[in-house]
């Protein structure tokens, strides 16, 4: 190796109290965990998920198994556990927030890229957690099906099936918004 330490070594060193290894592990993966949490729960959950995930790394020695997947898969699995717990606790609040985020668009808003991005993000957040997590992992985080299955703890076929259903739900949600935009242009 040319001086680059692999993730598994950094994880092990972090658990033994090596602050530099922990910092490197954090630097490599905190953005991916934040993006995952952002898409699953919104901005407020991002920082909390990152913090809780890395605290769990320090407080749960010996749980990582290289045969079950990569370190980022392991970290995303920890984040997933924390986030699903949060979703269960805040289900009503999250449902209300996702409904109010998609509002009527003006002609100018409909033409802007940011409006489109916000609409898609809202549609993703409005999906049931089971479907939202496969979209976030496979489409937004670009995790392959095998690793997503390991993170979630289900067969690869279930990932494919959930992703197919999630795409259909997103298509329907976004198509339902289309007539609103078309009517306003007239």
**Residue-wise pLDDT tens digits, 130-168:** 899 898 888 888 888 998 898 888 999 999 999 999 988
Largest CA distance in the chain: 65
| 11-47 residue pLDDT tens | 888 888 888 988 999 999 999 888 888 888 777 777 8
Identify whether the C-beta of residue 126 lies closer than 8 Å to the C-beta of residue 155: no
- Average pLDDT value for residue range 48-56: 85
Mean pLDDT of 160-182: 79
Which one of 3.40.640.10, 3.40.50.880, 1.10.1740.10, 1.10.3720.10 gives the CATH number of domain 1-89? 1.10.1740.10
Q: What is the pLDDT of residue 158?
A: 93
Inform me whether the pLDDT recorded for 181 exceeds 70. Answer: no
pLDDT (tens digit, 9 = 90+) per residue, 54-104? 888 887 766 777 777 888 888 888 888 888 877 776 654 544 444 444 444
**Using CA atoms, how far apart are residues 27 and 17, in angstroms rounded to an integer?**
16
In CATH, 102-186 is 3.90.79.10: no
Residues of the chain with CATH 1.10.1740.10: 1-89
Residues of the chain with CATH 1.10.10.10: 102-186
pLDDT at 76: 87
Q: Is 71 exposed, middle or buried (0-12, 13-18, 19+ CB in 10 A)?
A: buried
- Note the pLDDT of residue 113: 65
In this structure, how many other beta carbons lie within 10 angstroms of the beta carbon of residue 20? 11
- Four-residue CA torsion sign, 77, 82, 88, 90: negative
Amino acid 140: pLDDT:
82
Mean per-residue pLDDT of the chain: 78
Kindly give, in sequence order, each residue whose CB lies less than 8 Å from that of residue 39, ignoring residues fewer than 6 positions away.
121, 124, 125, 132, 135, 136, 140
What is the structure's pLDDT at 105?
44
- Of 49, 44, 9, nearest to 31 (Cα)? 49
Overall average pLDDT of the 98-116 stretch: 52
């Amino acid at each position: 190796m040319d001086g680059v330490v692999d993730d598994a070594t950094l994880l092990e060193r972090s658990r033994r109290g090596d602050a530099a290894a922990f910092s490197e592990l954090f630097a490599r993966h905190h953005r991916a965990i934040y993006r995952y949490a952002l898409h699953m729960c919104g901005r407020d959950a991002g920082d909390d998920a990152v913090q809780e995930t890395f605290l769990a790394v320090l407080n749960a020695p010996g749980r990582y198994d290289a045969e079950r997947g990569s370190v980022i898969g392991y970290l995303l699995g920890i984040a997933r556990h924390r986030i699903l717990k949060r979703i269960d606790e805040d289900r009503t609040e999250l449902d209300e927030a996702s409904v109010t985020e998609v509002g009527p668009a003006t002609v100018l808003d409909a033409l802007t890229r940011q409006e489109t991005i916000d609409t898609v993000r809202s549609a993703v957040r409005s999906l049931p957690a089971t479907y939202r997590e496969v979209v976030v992992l496979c489409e937004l985080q670009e995790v392959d099906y095998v690793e997503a299955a390991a993170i979630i703890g289900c067969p690869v076929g279930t990932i494919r099936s959930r992703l197919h259903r999630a795409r259909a739900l997103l298509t329907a949600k976004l198509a339902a918004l289309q007539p609103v935009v078309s009517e306003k242009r007239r």
